[in-house]
Amino acid sequence: MRNGSTKATVFHKILIANRGEIARRIMRTARRLGYGVVAVYSDADRDALHVREADEAVRIGEALPAQSYLRIDAIIAAAKAGGADALHPGYGFLAENEAFAQACRDAGLVFIGPSPEAIKAMGNKAAAKAIMQAAGVPCVPGYQGADQGDAVMLAEARKIGFPVMIKAVAGGGGRGMRLVADAAAFPDALRSARSEAQSAFGDPTVILERAIVDPRHIEIQVFGDRYGNAIHLGERDCSVQRRHQKLIEEAPSPAVSPTLRERMGAVAVNAIKSLAYEGAGTLEFLLDQSGEFYFMEMNTRLQVEHPVTEAITGLDLVELQLRMASGEPLGLRQQDIKLSGHAIEVRLCSEDVAHDFMPQSGKMALWQMPEEIRAEHALQSGFEIPPFYDSMIAKLISHAATRHEARRRLIHGLEQTVAFGVTTNQAFLAACLRHPAFAAGEATTAFIGKHRDGLLALSKETPSDIALAALLLYVSDPHAPPWRSGRTLAATFPLPLRIELNGSIHDLEIVRERDGGYVASLDGGEHRFEIDELGRDSIRFRSNGLMESARFFRDADRLYILHRGVTFAVRDLTLAAPVAAAAAGSDGKVRAAMNGRVVAVLVKPGERVAAGQPVMTLEAMKMEHVHAATIAGTISAIDVAEGEQVTTGKIVVEIEASEGAA
């Protein structure tokens, strides 16, 4: 497996076989080192920033944009068309595909990553566990056999003991992963995990593992060169997750002592030395409550969360990748690696936290990133977020001398982030960072599940938010009296308003008083405002002796507001016609909860179903989402077919209610 050559590998132009923020991130380092860069794009990414910023860009997209980045032949052809002699896979898509690395080798392209043999050995979770077990590395008990039959898998799950984890052998990012509590739920979870793994990675094979209760998710960043040198760059704590996908990562881990770091680092370095591993890699472990750690998998690529390691080590990990690929020796010894301060990263995702983290797509009307901390993204105001890819749209990273300072800086950065037009997890991330358990460094993989209700409550609108929304609707109306007019001879008449705020409807009144102030009346309470400044997109006001500011933006019939780090979408329904529609779901029509692709229709016309029974599965942003019957009854119509792309709100299944059913 070792590359025996000690000669330099020369390349001048790099094709980046990826999209979005990671493509831009790789471009930045490549250009600094004097390399040309070529981008690839699907039809959905025709006007994307990574396309605009490359020296050349080659179209590879067709009808299903997500699948375009998985077409090995098209990407190899794009490299040749763009004059590239090297290829960086980024992360996701084909980054851990040995066939892709081999195709690059066969085409005479330098693959900026490990060898196909190393990817095959460690990119497959089952093979990686076998290698680690042979090397004496502690592994999570489980089943990684070749027999993938349903009956065998269920029998093996019973042997392991529930709860068990189902994991796709290829790829990562929580896709193709399910936590199964009991045998009854196992068949559906197995089908869903396989389907998701096939869609995301082109391989439906899965393994089973014992579910370790309430662990930490700790990973060790490693690098190796072709001359047998290897080091680790410390650990990252990636415990705050939803749907087995990381949301917050930090380095170093508050749970890892210097002694434990040395132990885990030595295991990781010995592992990659045994593989003669070249390039960047990450070994992932579960750390239990007693301090024992268990190997889960190895990612043979750059990680999404690599910026926190860069922050505390002062190293550019993409630069190290390029230098390793060009044949340079590592040039670093383990004793050269010094960790400085603390870094935390959050993943800003286009998703609706209140509705089970449902992915969101659409136009980002106004997009502004904070300037005080590092932000990695590939968006601009007016850009469309397509439904085909991962829901992560940006990463925000803070670095400071202490963990508490880094946490405070990141909270402030989130409060300054403007993301108007598509629902994001912005306020939820800030709530996580503020939570006492996270602040104390106590968060495990159970953190969100344990504290979800409280975290959601912190990002809910309050009566004062509703009153502020009404004020901004009133004063930003072009026909409203000038706010600077000050005192008046007579107060204006109360103006009744009906507004929709984040999906909820509220009735209130607002009035301009004689002293020039404003009063919004809501549910028997009054909220008084004095405006100090009113700009095109910002307001500074006083309420109850407190002076505050907020950002806002009008986009068609929507008014977006950012106040205290929480974004609200407001609509004025005062003059809207009353809606005589049936209560949500009570009409028996199941509607698509997001833009996505139908991957499974689980019922047939004429079939009787119970309320809550799964009827259809949609895939959006690489995750599957089961849609259930809203009432008990008989399936009267199925309005979609498997493989069809649907939009939010489309009726997909119709149910005729059973007699007497509510």
Name the H helices within 227-290.
Answer: 258-274
How far apart CA 115 and CA 224 sit, in angstroms, is 12
Contact 275, 118 (CB under 8 A): yes
Name the H helices within 326-425.
Answer: 403-416
How far apart CA 413 and CA 449 sit, in angstroms, is 25
> According to the 3-state scheme, what is the secondary structure of 629-662?
CCCCEEEEEECCCCCCEECCCCEEEEEEECCCCC
How many other β-carbons are positioned within 10 Å of the β-carbon of residue 4?
A: 7
How far apart CA 659 and CA 652 sit, in angstroms, is 22
How far apart CA 555 and CA 376 sit, in angstroms, is 25
How many other β-carbons are positioned within 10 Å of the β-carbon of residue 62?
A: 12
How far apart CA 317 and CA 321 sit, in angstroms, is 6
How far apart CA 554 and CA 608 sit, in angstroms, is 46
Q: Which of 242, 261, 301, 347 is catalytic?
A: 301
Instruction: Report how far apart, in Å, the C-alpha atoms of 155 and of each of 39, 149, 191 are.
Output: 47, 10, 16
What is the chain's Cα-based Rg? Answer: 27
How far apart CA 535 and CA 637 sit, in angstroms, is 52
How far apart CA 206 and CA 468 sit, in angstroms, is 51
Backbone angles phi, psi at 168, to 5 degrees: -65, 140
Please report how the helices 317-325 and 20-32 are oriented relative to each other, as an axis angle in degrees rounded to 10.
70
Please report how the helices 150-160 and 186-201 are oriented relative to each other, as an axis angle in degrees rounded to 10.
110
How far apart CA 646 and CA 662 sit, in angstroms, is 28
Element (H, E) at 299: strand 293-299
Instruction: Report how far apart, in Å, the C-alpha atoms of 248 and of each of 242, 458, 544 are.
Output: 10, 18, 35
Is 301 a residue of the active site?
yes
Name the H helices within 277-420.
Answer: 306-313, 317-325, 403-416
Considering only CA atoms, which of 443, 442, 500 is closest in space to residue 470? 500
Asked if residue 252 has a cis previous peptide bond (ω within 30° of 0), the answer is yes
The token pair that represents 519 in the structure block: 């009063």
Asked if residue 114 has a cis previous peptide bond (ω within 30° of 0), the answer is no
Contact 362, 399 (CB under 8 A): no
The token pair that represents 653 in the structure block: 């299944």
- What do you get for the CA distance between the two ends of the chain, in Å? 65
How far apart CA 76 and CA 70 sit, in angstroms, is 11
Instruction: Report how far apart, in Å, the C-alpha atoms of 375 and of each of 25, 192, 201, 272 are.
Output: 10, 34, 28, 31
- Ramachandran assignment for 196, one of left (phi > 0), alpha (psi -120 to 50 degrees), beta (any other): alpha
Considering only CA atoms, which of 574, 546, 543 is closest in space to residue 559? 574
Which residues are catalytic, by number? 301
